[in-house]
Amino acid sequence: MTHDLIVFGEDWGGLPSSTQCLVGQLAKTRKIVWINSIGLRRPTPGWRDIKRAWHKLTANKHSTESDSGKIPNDNFHIVYPRTLPAPRSWLGRQLATLLLKKQILPVMKKANLKKPVLWTSLPTAVDLSGHLNESALVYYCCDDFSALAGVDHSTVAKRERELVQKADLILATSDELAQRFPTKTTRLLHHGVDYSLFAEPTPRAHDLPGNSSNKSRPIAGFYGSIDDRLDYDLLVSTIAQLPHWDFIFIGKPAMDHCPLSQFNNVTLLGERSHQQLPAYSQHWDVSLLPFIDNAMVRACNPMKLREYLAAGRPIVSTPIPATIPYRHLVHTVTDAATMVAALEQSVRAPVDAKRQRDAVTEHTWAARATQLSGWLETL
């Protein structure tokens, strides 16, 4: 029997997460009730949290309408929850559970879910287990929450321990994460890739350097979160030694002053939609994965790795476990000297784009969803 899903994830419709990519595929054959983020920490008085809270309060209670075409079909329902984020006390947890039940159960009834599986990517949703008439509980773990920035670590760690004990199936996106959970209930499910989006040729982005000049300067690019996971010491030293290169960073800086902005050959483009990214990654000369070495990075499995491979450009990366299966296709660097050498070598001896794309052809989100569906139907 095909189980419908109740999904606790991030807010639907932003830059695609692996949860959105997988559930978007599963929505083709089952009904989905998606609950937007219930939070992993209590809000602070800062402007960013005030703005987010206002957005939450003014959002629709629930929706079955298309949000700029992002909702897969009429069987996909979004709940915009009003609740207490990451409550610590017993009373707070009970109140948050009650508030969420009052919002979710009517949507489930309207959607007419059949033997739904409760899927959560957030440990704080464990309190809803047993309250939504679910037939099974799935924990989809993509991050090391003990090391993730912006998280109430103590509260989330406690909820995760409870969730692991209750879960019928745990899905881990990296080997590092999988090793932390009971083997009898854990399955390894690496990230997939929207292969056609990133592999099919697309026109060059109009704001990529070199469009208005006859000069041809090599370009190294990165997209994603510009936060404390990046190795800024490595990047600053490398960029200073390559004034004849352009360095492009796509994403929203998490700090007030990004240390990369000091260079004339660095362009911080800001955020771009997921659909726009191939117009950059297919046309710059080298794709970058310049991460520091910490617990969070060791546990991650960056979606952009397979997207970079599908784009068919050389990849220069610091040593992260996620690149090991593709080590023959990735230049691994440990300091500025090896990074400079790898960048220069990449333009002198371009990679075989077909070989890179072939490495991820079979790893689409559709293929991952097919594998996942088999596991779900055994619950």
CATH number at residue 19: 3.40.50.2000
Whether 36 and 16 map to the same domain: the answer is: yes
Between residues 369 and 114, which one has the greater pLDDT? 369
Whether 55 and 112 map to the same domain: the answer is: yes
Whether 109 and 136 map to the same domain: the answer is: yes
Determine the pLDDT at residue 215.
57
Instruction: Report the pLDDT averaged over residues 189-195.
Output: 96
Instruction: Report the pLDDT averaged over residues 109-133.
Output: 94
Determine the pLDDT at residue 157.
87
Which residue's entry shows tokens 């510009």? 226
Whether 117 and 68 map to the same domain: the answer is: yes
Q: Do 75 and 111 meet the contact criterion of CB atoms below 8 Å apart? A: yes
Whether 273 and 184 map to the same domain: the answer is: no
Give the distance from CA 121 to its chain's centroid. Answer: 11
Asked if the model's pLDDT at residue 181 lies above 80, the reply is yes
5-9, 41-45, 173-177, 215-219: segment of lowest average pLDDT:
41-45
Determine the pLDDT at residue 358.
96
For the chain, the average pLDDT equals 89
Q: CA–CA separation, 229 vs 223, rounded Å?
A: 13
Whether 133 and 227 map to the same domain: the answer is: no
Whether 22 and 143 map to the same domain: the answer is: yes
Percent of the chain exceeding pLDDT 90 equals 74
- Looking at the structure of the chain, the number of domains it has is 2
Asked if the model's pLDDT at residue 125 lies above 90, the reply is yes
Highest mean pLDDT among 52-66, 150-164, 236-250: 236-250
Determine the pLDDT at residue 34.
96
Whether 250 and 161 map to the same domain: the answer is: no
Whether 226 and 336 map to the same domain: the answer is: yes
Question: 16: pLDDT confidence band, cut at 50, 70 and 90?
Answer: confident
Whether 93 and 165 map to the same domain: the answer is: yes
Whether 165 and 244 map to the same domain: the answer is: no
Whether 47 and 129 map to the same domain: the answer is: yes
Determine the pLDDT at residue 213.
54
Question: 157-160 — which CB contacts under 8 Å span 24+ positions?
Answer: 159/123, 159/124, 159/126, 159/127, 160/123, 160/126
Question: pTM to 2 decimals?
Answer: 0.89
Structural domain boundaries, residue 156: 5-192+364-376
